[in-house]
Structure 1
Amino acid sequence: MKKVLFVCMLSVASFLSAFAPADEEVFINRHMDLARAQVEYMVQAMKDKEGFPRTINTSGNMVTTNMYDWTPGFFPGSLWQVYAYAPDTALKASAIRWTERLEPLKFFTEHHDLGFMMYCSFGNAYRLTGNPKYKDDLVQAARSLSTRFDPKTGCIKSWNNFRSWHGTKVYQYPVIIDNLMNLELLFFATRVSGDSSFYKVAITHADNTLKNQFRKDYSSYHVVCYNPETGAVEGRETAQGLADNSTWARGQAWAIYGYTMIYRETGDARYLKAARGMADFFIHHKNLPADKIPYWDFNIGQEGYTPGVNSYARKDTGHYRDASAAAITASALLELSTYAGKEGKQYRQPAIQMIRSLASPVYRSEPGTNGNFLIKHCVGSIPHQTEIDVPLVYADYYFLEALHRYKLLLKGEKLFPVALKGGVHGR
């Protein structure tokens, strides 16, 4: 498989160099049309299923998950993304149906992923329909998420506990880099309710994460473990990366996206500086391939990065690409480019390269194939030996979001006309 993928990488490089960007909007429309066909196949495939699509198994069959997993919001979110591109009564009905199936989650407090679960689904639903019920559901979800915040640590607790990959310690207050993505739900809740407590939780978490979860070069630790009694940092480890001191690619993508969004909502220049530093680490890393689709960890194959003792059942640490990390990063970089002034091009161009790579035959599936997912060659968790070189539902969501953002920028439109920008809801 790896030899075949290498040949494909050479093909996509030739594809990119040969492409003449005469009409980028035609390119976007073509791939949104393909996406529409694919999601319609997915809707049909899910017609009699209770769960939510997540990936495929080794036989190529769809794997679903229940609503309490962290990923169920991405399928209805993708339906809304396609509906925004091509409004259609049937597609809207499907988006509403799959979104409203998640309504019980507004009271869910067992882990931190309510932003992914509710904002990607209900957030898009509210944006596109204006239904006030969806706004109320989102505010309640923000209340539920806020119950996981503790002033002692200054962070929202991610998982209920975390066992070190070294097999010797169980931490009681783990915070993962992914948690930054859930803050957008809190910012939204303050904006529509006027309750600044959500905003304060969000920026406190953002500040402590910036302080404790990054190295001097703006690379990220996956998991920071706090002492729940004192708030002190007890450990910096990984759960899905190569090693505690390595940089997990999707974690870095969450960081770029997260701090770009936090800058949008606060106007605080510290967050813009952080987002740019994190983006620079990603796009200029010596191990980022020419097609801009990263390996699952930036330090794979390098000396000085040792996997945890108990982390690899088959010791498989191969050079797998993670297209999901590229999709997230591409979307984030497009937004970041709008905040960087004259230097915006240095973020927009890599984003476009990522989008074009993801849209190439190497990573982009044809309708009716790939378990009805859009994007191929993603990685869930190498340490857990699960979801390796498969499609993942969140890769599809952020690829569609990136296409939407690219189209808006081509038309000279703002990505986010409304944001908090400090002021009445500031510190």
Structure 2
Amino acid sequence: MKIKNHLGIAALAAVALAACQPKQEAKPDFLTEEINNIVAQHTIQTDIIEKSGKCLNPRTLDTLGNIVYVPIDDWTSGFFPGSMWLDYDLTKDEKWKNLAEKYTEALDSVKYLKWHHDVGFMIGCSYLTGYRLCGQPEYKDVIVEAAKSLSTRFRPNAGVIQSWDADRGWQGKRGWECPVIIDNMMNLELLFEATRLSGDSTFHKIAVSHADQTMKNHFRADNSCYHVVDYALKDGSVRSRQTAQGYAHESAWARGQAWAIYGFTTCYRYTHDQRYLDQAEKTLNFYLTDKNLPKDLIPYWDFDAPKIPNEPRDASAAACIASALYEMDGYCQGKNYKALADTIVTHLAGPDYKAKVGENGNFILMHSVGSIPHGQEIDVPLNYADYYYEEALIRKRDLENNQPFSFVTEKDSVQ
């Protein structure tokens, strides 16, 4: 009886002691923490834009730490509007939807842009992302019109979409005829979706032709990719293989590898052609096994840069690959690509790469590289690094909640 009384007193004392202790709030889970950080940064960023009275489009920081805003014909103009759509997807807060619509619709005339290939990035990340989330019928028309514009750059003799005009700007000094950069793989999604939305198989066929020629001509024996392949317009033969943004013609530019992995994974989504998924995996294997890949899987800007480990990292390449890996995980059973993606995302979310709120020009990630050979955007935030990081978070969320892959529109494709 005494034992029971002692136990009862002890229990009451424990309850009383617990009641006196300050309550500790449960620590937010990983995704919640990341969403809170993104919302905080983008709230500051959009407040600046809204107070300006202009529809500004932030891309990066200059060497003095000032935010660099870009016009609508800049190749990166779709990423910030796209990030607003991703904010809406992550939060379901109508504020982000309203801003996404405003910043997206400012790009309307881009659908007629024909002087470079990046209309796929520009309209795909903005209008297509918005259409997937909210289904505005007028967005469908913009997507299809943009695909028509992109299709004007298709060169039948070579079977590819020409990336840059060979007589424009610095490209005109290279002696190219029909330069095609690996980045162009990222624009094919717009064409595949245009076929889904319009029923016109022309777009799909152009995308497949471009993917096939890229797979044939852009890769080395070790499955790393060249940045630029120049084709002869007359007969489609390869004139040269070079780089514009990498360290050297035969080096492996990190973001180029990311574009290849992501781009061929996307091609597999729309075609179910195993060759495309195989190529994505082969290039991923090169990426993962190269001796110069750091343990955190965030690459140096070029795998062959001469001063490794004293070279800038490229968070944008890592974010793009992480997003691709979450998609690949659904296609490649038993390979646990999700674990690799989680490793990358966890490091990007750490203090080495994620900026503190109110710093870094209100961009999410630090330490990306635009083009070292051009002396541009070296070790700075970039809006496309943030976009693909958010996209990766959404794909991670959906995988972990057993939700269907959401980065498609209608189920049946026309080929």
| Aligned partner (choices 143, 146, 153) of residue 151 of structure 2 | 146
Q: CA deviation at 1:25?
A: 8.6
CA contact (8 A) 1:180 1:254 kept: yes
Q: How does 1:168-207 map to 2 (within 5 A)?
A: 169-207=174-212
| Aligned partner (choices 321, 330, 348) of residue 329 of structure 1 | 321
Q: CA deviation at 1:413?
A: 1.6
Secondary structure in structure 1 of the residue aligned to 2:331: coil
Residues 25, 330 of structure 1: CA spacing in aligned structure 2 closer, same or farther, 3 A cutoff?
farther
Residues 420, 219 of structure 1: CA spacing in aligned structure 2 closer, same or farther, 3 A cutoff?
farther
Secondary structure in structure 2 of the residue aligned to 1:379: strand
Which stretches in structure 1 are left out of the alignment for 5+ residues?
1-22, 304-316
Residues 192, 396 of structure 1: CA spacing in aligned structure 2 closer, same or farther, 3 A cutoff?
same
CA contact (8 A) 1:77 1:121 kept: yes
Residues 162, 244 of structure 1: CA spacing in aligned structure 2 closer, same or farther, 3 A cutoff?
farther
How far apart, in 2, do the equivalents of 1:218 and 1:246 lie? Answer: 12
CA contact (8 A) 2:166 2:172 kept: no
CA contact (8 A) 2:177 2:232 kept: yes
CA contact (8 A) 1:264 1:419 kept: no
- The match for 2:230 is 225
- The match for 1:28 is 31
Q: CA deviation at 1:260?
A: 0.4
Secondary structure in structure 2 of the residue aligned to 1:171: coil
Secondary structure in structure 2 of the residue aligned to 1:425: coil
Q: How does 1:82-101 map to 2 (within 5 A)?
A: 82-101=87-106
How far apart, in 2, do the equivalents of 1:166 and 1:100 lie? Answer: 30
How far apart, in 1, do the equivalents of 2:140 and 2:318 lie? Answer: 30
1:46 alignment partner AA: I
1:279-307 residue CA offsets vs partner (Å, 9 max, x unmatched): 1111222111011100000111289xxxx
1:425 alignment partner AA: V
Residues 78, 420 of structure 1: CA spacing in aligned structure 2 closer, same or farther, 3 A cutoff?
closer
2:111 alignment partner AA: K
How far apart, in 2, do the equivalents of 1:59 and 1:419 lie? Answer: 42
Q: CA deviation at 1:353?
A: 0.8
CA contact (8 A) 1:25 1:410 kept: no
Q: Is 1:405–2:399 an aligned residue pair?
A: no
| Aligned partner (choices 56, 64, 80) of residue 75 of structure 1 | 80
- The match for 2:137 is 132
- The match for 2:13 is none
How far apart, in 2, do the equivalents of 1:24 and 1:249 lie? Answer: 35
Q: Is 1:352–2:308 an aligned residue pair?
A: no
1:33-78 residue CA offsets vs partner (Å, 9 max, x unmatched): 1101111111112222454111001221101111111001000100
Q: How does 1:300-339 map to 2 (within 5 A)?
A: 300-301=305-306, 319-339=311-331
| Aligned partner (choices 107, 121, 130) of residue 116 of structure 1 | 121
Which stretches in structure 2 are left out of the alignment for 5+ residues?
1-25
How many residue pairs were aligned? 388
Residues 24, 282 of structure 1: CA spacing in aligned structure 2 closer, same or farther, 3 A cutoff?
farther
CA contact (8 A) 2:229 2:238 kept: yes
- The match for 2:379 is 389
- The match for 2:261 is 256
Moved over 6 A (4+): 162-168
Q: Is 1:294–2:284 an aligned residue pair?
A: no
TM-score calculated relative to the size of structure 1: 0.87
CA contact (8 A) 2:317 2:385 kept: yes
| Larger RCO, structures 1/2 (Cα 8 Å, 6+ apart) | 1
How far apart, in 1, do the equivalents of 2:172 and 2:164 lie? Answer: 17
CA contact (8 A) 1:283 1:350 kept: no
- The match for 2:17 is none
How far apart, in 2, do the equivalents of 1:85 and 1:218 lie? Answer: 35
Secondary structure in structure 2 of the residue aligned to 1:128: helix
1:183 alignment partner AA: L
1:324 alignment partner AA: S
Secondary structure in structure 2 of the residue aligned to 1:170: coil
Secondary structure in structure 2 of the residue aligned to 1:219: coil
How far apart, in 1, do the equivalents of 2:186 and 2:69 lie? Answer: 23
Q: CA deviation at 1:334?
A: 1.0
How far apart, in 2, do the equivalents of 1:155 and 1:268 lie? Answer: 18
